[in-house]
Amino acid sequence: MRDERVILTKRKIQSDGFTLVWFLLLASGLIQQFVFHAPIEQYAVEFIIFFIMAGYILIGNMAKGNDIAPTSYKLNNTILGLQSALTGVGTGVMMYLITENNLSTSILTFVCGTVGSFILLKTLYYANNKKQEHINSQFDDEDDME
């Protein structure tokens, strides 16, 4: 039988390795895109794997009822709006660089990125809150039975 400390240490090392590979995939794709000006075919797999891994982390945490963001973020539309605006700025700047200084496309991308990320984050936070409330109600029901 293994010690719990050993198991937790191994899980921590695996988690750190996963995070390192995840960020290296993102860095690899961005470097190929912006430094080497490589065609999308050369780095598309890195981005696909990066987003699959991000989705796995998000869905896994939500399925287990883990909080995906501090409660103050989920209840504060100002912070949610700021997160969405930063996402919109990031996508708008990337589109500006990709489209060789096409400002109208960048502005459209900024607006769509901001609105889309606000709706997506609000939906994710709502679903996460519902899952946590469901888990809390199960624990409350078990406490009432005792």
Summarised one tens digit per residue, pLDDT across range 10-43 is 999 999 999 999 999 999 999 998 899 999 899 9
The pLDDT value given to residue 2:
75
The pLDDT value given to residue 145:
63
* pLDDT one-digit tens code per residue, 65-109: 888 877 666 567 888 888 899 999 999 888 888 888 788 888 999
CA nearest to 132, candidates 122, 124, 144: 124
CA distance 109 to 120: 16
- Under the banding of pLDDT at 50, 70 and 90, the label for residue 130 is confident
The pLDDT value given to residue 18:
93
The pLDDT value given to residue 118:
92
Q: What is the mean pLDDT of residues 110-139?
A: 89
CA nearest to 50, candidates 31, 30, 22, 29: 22
The pLDDT value given to residue 32:
93
